[in-house]
Structure 1
Amino acid sequence: MLRGISSDRYINLLKKLPFRSIDMNQTEIERSTILIVDDTPESIDVLVEALERVGFRLIVAQCADEVFERISNVRPDIILLDILMPGTDGFGVCRRLKADEDTKDIPVLFMTALSDTSDKVRGFELGAADYITKPFQHEEVLARIKAHLTIRKLQQELNDALVRRTKRQMEELRRNIITSLPHEFYTPLNGIFGFANIIVETHDSMSKESIVEYVRFIYESAERLHRTIQNYLTYAEIEIIASNPEQMKKCQDGTMSNPKAQIEYIAKENAARAKRMSDLVIESGAAPVFTIPISESYFHKLMQELIENAFKFSEAGTKVHIRTAIQDDMFRIYISDKGRGMNAEQIAEVGAYMQFERRIYEQQGTGLGLIIAKRIAEIHKGRLTVESGGKNHGVRYIVEFPVNFQDYEDDGIIKV
């Protein structure tokens, strides 16, 4: 916000702004409504004459009650508000405007002859966009009005764009849920029912080896179904926590020490399951004793999702590299693979129920893994970054958490 500078410098700065010119076209001017609030007829006359000549639509109010009466009939695009008025002053009017959901985004420009900095600070704290100093300089008044109308228009355009993007994302979410849920629930259920039915009906003629094989298929299907249900429950739990400040704080109050040991355990477990122990590379240098603000269960879930992805989406014989480091008081975990990779658009759209190129790759799971990992990091003061050189160039996950160092005395007592 441009405040507290001379009018000439203000106008020159406005003309150098990187967005659209402050010289609004005539159509934009004629569509803009300004509410002037002042109890002094002389001040009103000066502003009306200057602004009508340019083409703005004007509304006038001389006290607080008239302000809200006018606004109930016509919603202004900007308000010029005098501070010193009988009854409720400009500060009181501004406070009420900013407390109302329907009027809080209307820019308020205070008009005042006051030179006291504390009064200006008070106005800004109440949500004022700017000040216009009396006696008025027409060029300055027009420049400030045009600047804030332009900013408001840009904000509205940005909000509209965000709404459109949100609608597209929600539609994509709905489509992915409709597509993935039946598949993710019914496929393992069909496996369970199908193989169980075969065993029930033909067990007399089946070999022991065949029965064991079918039971293994049933177990794997049940495990997949259980994993899907757990992921949905975990995702719902995380979103509930994220919307509740008290639960967020409780989560962040939890700590775990020696995260490197758990990373190594999870990495080796996944490598063994994928029969790729020779592909696993772990680098973990010596470090002082420290803790990070996350419980062991959430940390395990986060690491499990990322390391499992690294093995799942890379070929046997290619390395999965895991490195940990403490940098700038942050504990960082780097997990890299040489798999299919992701393009910039896919990384930007990482979200719940999103699976990329499912028609090309046989892929189990709802796509919740990455978003669960991302949200777990975020609600514990951390961050997950996804990097990739593009298709077939692998993925690198970077997880970071703030560290709390602990010094040990010679007698073994922890000094925090």
Structure 2
Amino acid sequence: MDDNLLNDVVSAALKAGADTAEAVFAERKSLSVSVRLGELEEVEREEARDLGLRVFIGQRSATVSGSDISSEARAKLIERAVAMARLAPEDPYASLAPGDRMARGPFPELDLIDTYEPTAETLETQARLAEEGARSVEGVTNSDGGTASWSAATWRLVTSAGFSGAHAATGHSLSCSAIAGEGAGMERGGEGRSTRHFADLPGAGDIGREAGRSAVVRLNARKIASTTAPVIFENRLAMSLIGPLLGAISGPSIARGSSFLKDKLNQQVFARGVSLIEDPHRVRGLGSAPFDDEGVATVRRALIDDGVLTTWLLNTSSAKQLGLETTGHASRGLAGPSGVSTSNLTLSTGTRDQAGLMADAGTGLLVTSMFGPALNGNTGDWSVGCSGLWFENGEITGPVTEITVAGNLIDIYARLIPGTDLEFRGANNAPSILVDGLAIAGK
């Protein structure tokens, strides 16, 4: 579907009674192949084309979507959207994004499209190599399989205010899950990577071997007594500690008054020297886009600058509620109102690698797996189930399990110390993080 057809949809919506409107077209193709124990297990192919329409009548709005994009279906979709908007409750904050905030071309070249499209046979080979790598690790006794996939997606937006833009991206993914040990002592470990270009993926065997090692290192884990000790969150999961921050500074949360950071704008939240950078224009970035889902230009910014919280994450609606301007963080699907999201976040590095953080901490917990987080969004009280490695005098002494780590995020953020081992593994990345003196609940 091209811009002309979307313009026709928007024009037809205006003729049908809408004051303003925006149309979105999303197209996705994907192919995924899974193997287990050396045998082909699943081949899944998907192709989807969907049209979404949001219309505004005064302060009322409605959003509809459909996968049938024939002329007859488009006419019914437009009719339904306008009828729903006339019956919708009034929302003084619902509108298209302001015209002066819209992205203007030419858009930055982000190199998000890989022209290489792997065949099912190629993906099967990659999945097999990953699983073979995992099963080659001493101590691995079984496998949950390897999976390789490819996808290509396009998002196109046209509004009655004159905005027209599209961005497209490809994705290549490879993952593997291994099992070590026997019976009640079995442990699982996994590894996976996703990139925009196939050439940027690590070797399939390397991914498998890392999955195998992560399973084996968890064998013979012991329980520990409850205590208070330093905790290090390894780099591959450290952003999980930062995730609640994003919800707490989202415009909708601030507008509702349901955020533990609602009074912290332009205040010191992290230690000096700590920054959280958002770069939506990172070349080949998994979160890169030239504009947000309302067509507003995206920009590089420091959400945390030298420890200071600099901004809320705002879409058009939440910005209006707060008397501010949108920050280009709108995120929406084809149906429903906009939410907010970020893209390509990076936590700044410190001066010590993971071994150095352990040496500084002396005795404590290195978290390698997290599950079941719980958060009180109003107070920042946070806890998470985890397993990992215990260390004493800066040296690993063995795996530990069935642990809950808890604390208040306002206090945690103020005291966290980033390491130097930053790896760009996904859209959001951080080095290992040390937090001194967290409550650890064990046996």
Fold shared per TM-score above 0.5? no
TM-score under structure 1 normalisation? 0.24
Q: Please state which structure has a larger fraction of its residues in strand.
A: 2
